[in-house]
């Protein structure tokens, strides 16, 4: 039995897609457990790039089964677009894609509410969401008025829940946000067209997954976003609306914690963040600009420039703790190739006192001054290096520093976007 969970250890976009694709090759099943099409997971194989928002990053390996679990919120438009994109690339998902009958749908009104809510927030309070309707969809799930996949495939039930929601959402849109509402008939007709296209994929994935685990199959679980965007443990309220941390894998798939053996934290060799909210090591100077340029730091979902800064070891150690990360996959080490000196944050100064504990309250995080330790750069190209021994001493020292500080082993080192340019130690 082998169940491994892959989580983002920072603010998302750490390179989860690349590592899931790589490790997916040796898996029977790859499963997503939370988030939705706010995710953008990039995979590069022999120069060809794919970006997945909903379908697990194992889909490009023939024979691997892919599950979208109950914890994911699914926009059928994004899902069908992705299925059709795969078809164009010669990948047929029939018999390989399985969607939980308990997963909730993202409806057109969720996207309108997402935009309206962001616009209505006071100055400085907008979250900077991806606009994919994620928050409002999870809101309905918790409020017990959401529409699930099992409701979609039952037309009478779907219509009844949709009707109630349209009445409520139109009131909110017009009275609270002074925005246009939605039309019941239009949505009902649109979703009637989606129904036969999606229904064949809808199954009891909880049962499927637990049977697979009991049969000793190898399961790889793919997180979206990252620990610091976690609704409970992240920099609330500047977070997403799900639990991207390891615990979310159990609730988002219906598997017991005791099944999980390996927890891999995908960690960028520096830090980035899209959207608003605290980012203690953010660089506003030419060094930050250089990280953005060298790392091509523009969002895979929205195209927004990512905010960039040095590796924050205080935040990473916190992430290792709350996720139980026992292996780190260090990505984009090659992006640091031309930096003479590379800094890492080893403690925070908060209100005059120094701490190595990550505070999650916004007033503290807003006033945090990162205490940086400067390490030597390697000043040569790491691009494409596939063996640990071939790394220059300064790169090995950087890796050793991260291991010592966090207590987690750096098992994988990624040296280019390509699937194969990865060191496995």
Using CB under 6 A as the binding rule, whether residue 54 contacts ligand IMO is answered as no
Using CB under 6 A as the binding rule, whether residue 18 contacts ligand GDP is answered as yes
151 is catalytic: no
Q: Which two tokens stand for residue 283?
A: 């660089």
Stretch that binds ligand GDP, among 188-196, 329-337, 339-347, 400-408 (CB under 6 A): 329-337
Q: Which residues contact 333 (CB under 8 A, 6 or more apart)?
A: 269, 382, 395, 398, 413, 414, 415
Site for ligand GDP (CB under 6 A): which residue of 41, 65, 132, 307?
A: 41
Using the CB atoms, write b or e for 75-106: b if 16+ within 10 Å.
bbebbeebbeebeeeebeeeebbbbbbbbbbb
Query: Of the listed 13, 21, 140, 334, which one is catalytic?
Result: 13
Q: In whole angstroms, what is the distance from residue 218 CA to residue 258 CA?
A: 15
Stretch that binds ligand IMO, among 71-79, 121-129, 249-257, 280-288 (CB under 6 A): 121-129
- For the bound state, the minimum distance from the C-beta of residue 155 to ligand IMO, rounded and expressed in Å, comes to 30
Using CB under 6 A as the binding rule, whether residue 225 contacts ligand IMO is answered as yes
Site for ligand IMO (CB under 6 A): which residue of 61, 240, 331, 347?
A: 240
Q: How many residues bind ligand IMO (CB under 6 A)?
A: 24
69 binds, among ligand IMO, Mg ion, ligand GDP, none (CB under 5 to 8 A by kind): none
- Asked if 147 contacts 187 with a C-beta cutoff of 8 angstroms, the reply is no
Measured from the CB atom, the residue of 14 and 114 that comes closer to ligand GDP is 14
275 binds, among Mg ion, ligand GDP, ligand IMO, none (CB under 5 to 8 A by kind): ligand IMO
Using CB under 6 A as the binding rule, whether residue 59 contacts ligand IMO is answered as no
**Kind of pairing, strands 353-355 and 311-312?**
unpaired
Q: In whole angstroms, what is the distance from residue 199 CA to residue 101 CA?
A: 9
101 is catalytic: no
DSSP per-residue codes, 200-244? GGEE-HHHHHHHHHHTT-EEEEE--S-GGG-TTTSSTTSS-SS--
Measured from the CB atom, the residue of 40 and 275 that comes closer to Mg ion is 40
Using CB under 5 A as the binding rule, whether residue 40 contacts Mg ion is answered as yes
- Asked if 345 contacts 313 with a C-beta cutoff of 8 angstroms, the reply is yes
Q: How many helices (H) and strands (E) in the chain? A: 13, 20
Using CB under 6 A as the binding rule, whether residue 300 contacts ligand GDP is answered as yes
Using CB under 6 A as the binding rule, whether residue 141 contacts ligand IMO is answered as no
Q: Is the peptide bond before 403 cis (omega within 30 degrees of 0)?
A: no
Does residue 55 sit in helix, strand or coil? coil
Report the length, in residues, of the chain. 425
Positions in the binding site for ligand GDP (CB under 6 A) = 8, 12-18, 40-42, 44, 300, 331-332, 334-335, 414-417
Active-site residue set: 13, 41
Positions in the binding site for ligand IMO (CB under 6 A) = 8, 11-13, 38-41, 127-130, 132, 134-135, 224-226, 229, 240-241, 274-275, 300
């Amino acid at each position: 039995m082998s169940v491994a969970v892959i989580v983002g250890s920072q603010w998302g976009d750490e390179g989860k897609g690349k590592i899931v694709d790589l490790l997916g090759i040796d898996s029977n099943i790859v499963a997503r457990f939370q988030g939705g099409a706010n995710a953008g997971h990039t995979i590069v194989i022999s120069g060809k790039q794919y970006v997945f928002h909903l379908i697990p990053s194992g889909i490009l390996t023939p024979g691997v089964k892919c599950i979208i679990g109950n914890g994911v919120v699914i926009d059928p438009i994004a899902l069908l677009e992705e299925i059709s994109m795969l078809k164009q690339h010669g990948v047929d998902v029939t018999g390989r894609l399985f969607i939980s009958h308990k997963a909730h749908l993202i409806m057109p009104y969720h996207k309108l509410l997402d935009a309206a809510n962001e616009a209505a927030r006071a100055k400085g309070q907008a979250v900077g969401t991806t606009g994919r309707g994620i928050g409002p969809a999870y809101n309905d799930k918790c409020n017990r008025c959401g529409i699930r996949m099992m409701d979609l495939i039952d037309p009478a039930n779907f219509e009844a829940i949709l009707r109630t929601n349209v009445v409520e959402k139109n009131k909110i849109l017009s009275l609270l946000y002074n925005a246009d509402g939605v039309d019941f008939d239009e949505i009902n007709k649109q979703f009637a067209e989606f129904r036969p296209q999606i229904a064949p994929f809808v199954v009891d994935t909880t049962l499927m997954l637990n049977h697979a685990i009991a049969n000793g199959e190898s399961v790889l679980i793919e997180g979206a976003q990252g620990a610091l965007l976690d609704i409970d443990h992240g920099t609330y309220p500047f977070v997403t609306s799900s639990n991207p941390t390891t615990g979310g894998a159990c609730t988002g798939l219906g598997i017991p914690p005791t099944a999980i053996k390996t927890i891999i934290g995908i960690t960028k060799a520096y830090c980035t963040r899209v959207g608003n909210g605290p980012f203690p090591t953010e660089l506003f100077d030419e060094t930050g600009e250089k990280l953005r340029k060298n790392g091509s730091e523009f969002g895979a979902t929205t195209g927004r420039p990512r905010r960039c800064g040095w590796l924050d070891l205080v935040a990473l150690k916190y992430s290792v703790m709350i996720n139980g990360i026992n292996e780190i996959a260090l990505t984009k080490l090659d992006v640091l190739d031309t930096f003479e000196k590379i800094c890492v944050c080893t403690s925070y100064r908060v209100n005059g006192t120094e701490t190595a504990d990550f505070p999650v309250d916004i007033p503290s995080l807003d006033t945090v001054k990162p205490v940086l330790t400067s390490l030597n750069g390697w000043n040569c190209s790491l691009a494409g290096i596939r063996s640990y021994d071939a790394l220059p001493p300064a790169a090995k020292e950087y890796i050793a520093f991260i291991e010592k500080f966090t207590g987690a082993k750096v098992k994988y080192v990624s040296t280019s976007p390509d699937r194969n340019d990865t060191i496995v130690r």
